[in-house]
Amino acid sequence: MNQSKKRIISVTYAGILPFYLSPMSHYLDNNGTILIFSEIETISSLYAALIVCFLSGMQWQKLIEINMKGYFFFTPIIPLFLVSTHNLNDNEIYSTFVLIFSLFLSLLIDLRLSQKKSDKWFKKLRINATVLASFSFLI
């Protein structure tokens, strides 16, 4: 395995750790000395939204570069979903659903965009990262 591939894998899995900030803090800090649990939950949700928006921007750039028609509509929709999540922050189930849905929609768009590439290791990494990030909202 070459050095850049190792670096990509390491950075990807390190980027998943903040998704688990909220579940870990719930189990580690029972008396509220670190932060209020709802604040950590908000930070984790904002981190997920930031990641999805970043991925959407990268996908939009790829769509423009390869002039792929038909998918151009989906990438800006994802950040709009996330804005609606922020507005309905009181409904935790809706927010969680939108974040998980956005992560998987982003994954599907990425897999479609990289369909012709033969980097199977990257596709597996992307699938693993999405599943692990989504699982953090369910525990």
DSSP state, residue 90: T
Is-contact 89 69, C-beta < 8 A? no
Q: Where are the alpha helices (DSSP H) in 17-119?
A: 21-28, 37-66, 74-87, 92-113
Domain count, the chain: 1
Considering the entire predicted model, what is its pTM? 0.77
Is-contact 99 91, C-beta < 8 A? no
Domain ranges, residue 69: 3-138
Residue 131 in this model has a pLDDT that exceeds 60: yes
Span 39-73, pLDDT tens digits: 667 777 788 888 888 888 887 777 777 776 665 55
Span 68-126, pLDDT tens digits: 666 555 666 666 666 655 555 566 777 788 888 888 988 988 888 877 776 888 889 99
The confidence score (pLDDT) of residue 49 equals: 81
Residue 26 in this model has a pLDDT that exceeds 70: no
